Amino acid sequence: MNEQVIRGQLDATVSGTSFDFLSGRYGGKVRDTYRHEDRLVLITSDRISAFDHILRQTIPFKGQVLNRLAAWFFEQTSDIVTNHVISVPDPNVTIAKRCQALPVEFVVRGYLAGHAWRTYKSGGRELCGKELPEGLQQNSRLPQPILTPATKAAEGHDEDISRAGILERGILSESLFDELERISLALFARGTERAAERGLILVDTKYEFGLDEDGGIVLIDEIHTPDSSRYFYSDTYDELLAADEPQRQLSKEFVREWLMAHGFQGLDGQQLPDLPDAFRIQVAQRYIELYEQITGESFEPETSSDPISRMESSIKQELNLG
């Protein structure tokens, strides 16, 4: 995408919403969620988070990329598990089923990267109860994808947890956990297939689930987006691995790397740096590149100078609120 288009949106991003015609607003790291009768209205903002901190600067078009890519992947995986999508009336908005969200993130890893690599590098050979073999290097492919769950923290850092820990603490029943593990691995396999078709490797990702009023499992939140997933380019993977060099990747990891290079890992006493506009543009380009690479479609942005009014109109029309 033309850099000037992105630059022109720097001052018209969606940092947050406050729609008084909807109720029960909950602001997450990226999404603002509202209730309307038996539905949820999910607003995907242009906020970006890393190390469990919301950065002060926003990323142009990030919300549109996440919302549209998640909608695309929800459709691609609807034969595996029911998802929460009812409609997508606006590039930043999803109308979804209300569910009872389960307090566990189902993280699936196919490669030794990110948090898993940092654990391994420090000497750890077990992650969430799963044994990691000796002799691996950063970004090595694991013998098979593994599930490494995490409890969802209301504040602060999520906590790695094993299957045994989840069962011991009574967070989920054994039968429900095992079914969610099966579904998560099937979703990862589908994501891996779709990525491979487009010259990418799905490295790791996380899934969130809820239960509907009948106790049925529903996939919620997002799926296979650059906020929830890590992707490598497949054409240079083997060469870079052999040379023990960083992989070419499409994910949010390079934002974390930028923050670490500027002295921030979310630890006590560290000061959160500001993102310069040039880097904000670079991040936006990465998000858009992933959307186009995965879907094979050109990303056509909505460049409204007043995205809040645009979303309000779209939501009211979709919900027949007049």
Better-predicted residue by pLDDT, 159 or 47: 47
pLDDT tens-digit series, residues 210-220: 999 999 999 99
Domain 101-250, CATH: 3.30.470.20
pLDDT tens-digit series, residues 62-81: 999 999 999 999 999 999 99
| CA distance linking residue 166 with residue 307, whole number of Å | 41
Q: Name the region of 269 (left: φ>0; alpha: ψ -120 to 50; beta: rest).
A: left
pLDDT of residue 11: 96
pLDDT tens-digit series, residues 184-209: 999 999 999 999 999 999 999 999 99
pLDDT tens-digit series, residues 262-285: 999 999 999 999 999 999 999 999
Domain 3-99+277-318, CATH: 3.30.200.20
Q: What are the angstrom distances between the C-alpha of 229 and each of 191, 204, 237?
A: 10, 6, 17
List, by residue range, all CATH 3.30.470.20 domains of the chain: 101-250
pLDDT of residue 251: 81
> 218-256 burial, b for 16+ CB within 10 Å, e for fewer?
bbbbbbbbbbbbbbbeeeebeeebeeeeebebbbbbbbb
pLDDT tens-digit series, residues 123-177: 999 999 999 999 999 999 999 999 999 997 655 567 999 999 999 999 999 999 9
pLDDT at residue 295 greater than cutoff 70 = yes
pLDDT of residue 152: 78
List, by residue range, all CATH 3.30.200.20 domains of the chain: 3-99+277-318
Over the chain, what is the mean pLDDT? 95
